[in-house]
């Protein structure tokens, strides 16, 4: 009887690199409440997602880009960031090492809650795109004092 091969990391770093770059049609990475999605036909830039008291912040590392070479789109609770990083082509160039990714990139984040769409902001500086998505007012946590009645007497809590 033949058992299916178990997918995991081995002691060989070359095997690990191949396992991590599997050709799945779509990869998902889940972190608590949000999901980062990746399309396999495009490279995915390093992306950090973190939550502050009143907003979600998405940081995407896409150095070497210019205005108009990337797009930020928000549809419902899905934030999509995509674009194309162009490689400068020079005649007679012989590479000894190539690690920087070029071509089409794409990353999507499924937001954990609705956002104030008219207050979403994005800024590209020093190779990082920072998108701030304020939590919708209906989703913000509010602390309210409640009067508690105890044996006919009012107390404020």
CA proximity to 107, closest of 49, 21, 54: 49
- The full set of domains in the chain, from first to last, is 26-84+104-156 (2.60.40.790)
**How high is the pLDDT of residue 148?**
82
CA proximity to 10, closest of 23, 22, 18: 18
**How high is the pLDDT of residue 26?**
42
Alpha-helical regions (H) of the chain: 13-20
**How high is the pLDDT of residue 46?**
96
Q: What is the pTM of this model?
A: 0.64
**How high is the pLDDT of residue 152?**
62
**How high is the pLDDT of residue 16?**
37
Question: What does residue 58 show for φ and ψ, rounded to 5 degrees?
Answer: -115, 125
pLDDT per residue, tens digit, the chain (157 aa), is: 333 333 333 344 444 343 344 333 344 444 455 566 555 689 999 999 999 989 999 999 999 998 889 999 999 999 999 999 998 888 888 888 989 999 999 999 999 999 999 999 999 999 999 999 999 987 555 567 787 887 766 555 5
83: exposed, middle or buried (Cβ count in 10 Å: 0-12, 13-18, 19+): buried
- Rounded Cα–Cα distance for residues 27 and 9 (Å): 17
**How high is the pLDDT of residue 38?**
57
User: Contact 44/26 with Cβ under 8 angstroms?
Assistant: no
């Amino acid at each position: 009887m033949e058992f299916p091969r178990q997918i995991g990391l081995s002691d060989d770093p070359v095997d690990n690199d191949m396992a991590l770059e599997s050709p799945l049609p779509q990869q998902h990475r889940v972190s608590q409440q949000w999901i980062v999605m990746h399309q396999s036909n495009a490279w995915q830039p390093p992306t950090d997602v973190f939550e502050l008291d009143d907003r979600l912040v998405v940081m995407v590392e896409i150095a070497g880009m210019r205005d108009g070479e990337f797009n930020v789109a928000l549809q419902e609770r899905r934030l999509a960031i995509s674009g194309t990083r162009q490689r400068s082509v020079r005649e007679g160039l012989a590479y000894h090492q190539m690690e920087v990714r070029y071509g089409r990139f794409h990353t999507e984040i499924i937001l954990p809650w609705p956002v104030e769409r008219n207050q979403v902001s994005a800024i590209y500086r020093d190779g990082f795109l920072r998108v701030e998505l304020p939590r919708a007012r209906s989703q913000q946590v509010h602390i309210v004092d409640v009067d508690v009645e105890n044996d006919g007497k009012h107390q404020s809590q």
